[in-house]
Amino acid sequence: MTAQRKARKIGNARVTIPAVMFALIWHGHLISAAPVSAQNLVKTPRSNAALSREKLKKIDAFFNSEISAGKIPGAIVLIEQHDQPVYFKTFGLRDTDTGAPMTPDTIFPIHSMTKTITSFAVMMLIDQGRLRLDDPLAKYIPSFAEVRVGVETRDENGTPILTMVPPRRPLEIEDLLLHASGITYESNSNGLVKKAYAGITVGDFDNAEFVERIARLPLAEQPRTLWEYGHSTDVLGRVVEIVSGQSLYEFEKAQLLDPLGMPTTKFFLTEPAERSRLAKPLPTERYSTRSSLDVTRWESGGAGMVSTIGDFSRFARMLLHGGALDGHRFLKPETFKAMTSDHIGPGSGVARNYFYYPGDGFGFGYGFGIRTDPGKAIPPPPGSIGEIKWDGASGTYFVVDPERDMFFVLLEDAPVQRGNVQRILKQIIYDCFED
């Protein structure tokens, strides 16, 4: 039995925060944080390098410049090392229409960072013995027993045609966690399979109805042959519902969000006080057709949640502590290790193309990008081997670096500038380590 199979058996304006508010937010939304139980932590070798608070002021200059240039409306950045906040600032405006300033309790759509929460929920079910990585997807959603792979060829006139062929093996839960299921997004590239996904999210539906839509569509490739970003995590959200007997949000709220202290991480905002705190992108960048202000029946496990800096920092802190926080263990150490290990590296059979979003030097675990090597760029991009990361379409971004005993979270709603902001922020942070 290979090691891989063993793992499968076990995812311009700036507001300065008053010191009191800073401490309260850091400890979790105006609630006190209990001391972390040392016996519940997964310890890994740590670097002694510390972050220079003086050098971190470069972050202020960068974001103030971006806001002054009209590139982004605002942002929030939090950096923690050794369980202590070393940097926490809000910048710019929450809403350029009203001029409302960015505040620590601003709520952001986190888009694909939702995937990390859904994937963690799946791993909790696996940890509890209620689900297996090698379970066939059709065991829970029978329609996927009939799914086909779309192969694009050309006829004698050179016209593209789509031929349906059976998958070489049934889809498994692990395929979806790895984004190697063949389930795609229509936006990833051109082609007849992608066109088949057009309009898939139009209308009002719940998770049960949505996965039936997906099951009628062709897979873009054979299972476990290509890392393909798509609706895999949305399908996993329905699996969570079937296995748990609860809605996706009900399960996540009871098992993860409430115990972790993430009260504002949810799919829809119904309270007026919360709705008024939702960040808005610049008027020229309001592309999204769905909003957490519009309550529907679809709880998208792939892109539907909102969160705050206080909430998501709790999630990142728990990841830094190996799946445990404040004396509560959310995943067994061996399950957490499997979730945060690369499963698509050499020998896995999983190829990568232009749309491999984890990027150079990163593999992929069960829901996270995992740094495996420096990459091919010279000089290599900043970071550490074993680093955990993911981001969202609006520019939200987090990095958990166990080697440096550090994490940072960026929240913004700036779709156009997101790649630039994320790259520069990470470079500034790593340049501030005093080795």
Those residues whose C-beta lies under 8 Å from the C-beta of residue 18, and which sit 6 or more positions away, are none
Query: Model-level pTM?
Result: 0.89
User: 268 and 237 in one domain?
Assistant: no
Q: Give the end of a domain, one of 192, 220, 244.
A: 244
User: 154 and 57 in one domain?
Assistant: no
Task: Give the DSSP letter of residue 277.
Answer: T
User: 301 and 233 in one domain?
Assistant: no
**How many helices, marked H, and strands, marked E, lie in the chain?**
14, 17
Residue 418 in any domain: the answer is yes
User: 287 and 412 in one domain?
Assistant: yes
One digit per residue, the tens of pLDDT, for the chain of length 435 reads 333 333 444 433 333 333 334 444 444 433 333 333 333 333 333 467 899 999 999 999 999 999 999 999 999 999 999 999 999 999 999 999 999 999 999 999 999 999 999 999 999 999 999 999 999 999 999 999 999 999 999 998 989 999 999 999 999 999 999 999 999 998 766 789 989 999 999 999 999 999 999 999 999 999 999 999 999 999 999 999 999 999 999 999 999 999 999 999 999 999 999 999 999 999 999 876 678 998 899 999 999 999 999 999 999 999 999 999 999 999 999 999 999 999 999 999 999 999 999 999 999 999 999 999 999 988 899 999 999 999 999 999 999 999 999 999 999 999 999 999 999 999 999 999 997
Residue-range definition of the domain harbouring residue 159: 133-244
Residue 196 in any domain: the answer is yes
Residue 37 in any domain: the answer is yes
Q: Give the end of a domain, one of 244, 259, 291.
A: 244
User: What one-character-per-residue DSSP string does 134-190 give?
Assistant: T-BGGGT-GGGGG--EEEEEE-TTS-EEEEEE--SS--BHHHHHTT-SS---TTS--
Residue 128 in any domain: the answer is no
Q: What CA–CA distance (Å, rounded) separates 304 from 206?
A: 12
**With 0-12 CB in 10 A as exposed, 13-18 as middle and 19+ as buried, what is 292?**
buried
Q: What CA–CA distance (Å, rounded) separates 89 from 141?
A: 45
User: 387 and 250 in one domain?
Assistant: yes
Amino acid at 174: E
Token duo for residue 374: 């420096």
Integer CA distances (angstroms), 202 to 160, 198, 295, 338, 370, in order: 26, 9, 14, 36, 33
Provide the number of structural domains found in the chain: 2
User: 7 and 119 in one domain?
Assistant: yes
Residue 229 in any domain: the answer is yes
User: 95 and 228 in one domain?
Assistant: no
pLDDT value at residue 39: 33
Q: Give the end of a domain, one of 191, 226, 244.
A: 244
pLDDT value at residue 38: 32
User: 420 and 373 in one domain?
Assistant: yes
Residue 212 in any domain: the answer is yes
User: What one-character-per-residue DSSP string does 31-86 give?
Assistant: SPPPPPPGGG---------EE-TTGGGHHHHHHHHHHHTTS-SEEEEEEEETTEEE
User: 60 and 103 in one domain?
Assistant: yes
Residue 85 in any domain: the answer is yes
User: 58 and 117 in one domain?
Assistant: yes
Residue 62, domain CATH:
3.40.710.10
User: 393 and 352 in one domain?
Assistant: yes
User: 374 and 409 in one domain?
Assistant: yes
Token duo for residue 260: 């972790």
Residue 188 in any domain: the answer is yes
pLDDT value at residue 48: 77
Token duo for residue 100: 């409302």
pLDDT value at residue 289: 66
pLDDT value at residue 44: 36
Quote the radius of gyration of the chain (alpha carbons, Å): 21
